[in-house]
Amino acid sequence: MAQRRPNPGKPSAPPPSDGRQRWAAERDAHLRQANAFSVWFPSRTRRSTTKLPAALRYAQHLPASRTVRGLLLLGAPGYAALQLSQGAAVGRAIGFAALLAVVILAASTYRLTVTNHGISFDIAGLRQASSFAFVPLYAVRDVRVGRHPEEWPKTSLKGGWWPGRRRANILHVDQAGATQAFYVWVSNPEPFGTALLGRPMTD
């Protein structure tokens, strides 16, 4: 009996054991594309880039997490008070504490980046070392603006909030196939959703 030939026009799904390898491969490809662009100016390629990469699908900066901002809110005045108790001039103590807070905030700023392979939340001060909270595009299931649907799992916040931004909720599966969700405050929800889904969110 002749064996049925596979249909060359329809690629077969990878076996479950290859799921982590595919995730890792997409993450590596994502980092190669994302790292070719400036952290603070995502539309510009780095001077060290030798091969012109594909443009980023979406990129924006997010403020430091609430934990970091809360610690700075308490730590900066405390540091200034410590300097004053040691005899430092008022202007010098307050100015140095404010400058230190600004540097820490800048180093703790996130960059939300969507490439042709996935989405990540990279911390500016550590960006050359790692990529945080990466999700490949093939794992994204849905994107909704506003409140997330009640049937979705509990969402967690990525990054912080700035005025004029809207909440975008992302539904995805993790490497084990479990459904998860998170939300982020974005300035342009429609292009952001299109970048993740490969189609307008209204479809």
pLDDT tens for 24-49 read: 999 999 989 998 998 888 888 888 88
The total number of structural domains in the chain stands at 2
Residue 188 pLDDT class (50, 70, 90 cuts)? very high
pTM: 0.77
Q: Clarify whether residues 36 and 101 are in a common domain.
A: no
Residue 172's alpha-carbon distances to 79, 129, 176, 196, 198, in angstroms, are 42, 25, 11, 11, 14
Are 76 and 98 found together in one domain? yes
Question: pLDDT per residue over 70-112, tens digit each?
Answer: 888 888 888 788 888 888 888 888 888 888 888 888 877 888 9
* 141 and 178 co-located in one domain: yes
Would you state the pLDDT for residue 203?
Answer: 54
Helices (H), ranges, the chain = 19-34, 66-85, 90-107, 189-197
**Percent with pLDDT over 90 in the chain:** 39
| 189 vs 144: CA distance, rounded Å | 9
Residue 158 forms part of a structural domain: yes
> Would you say the C-alpha torsion 201, 43, 39, 161 has a positive or negative sign?
negative
96 found inside a domain: yes
Domain that holds residue 77: 66-106
The answer to whether residue 12 is domain-embedded is no
What single-letter amino acid sits at 121?
A: F
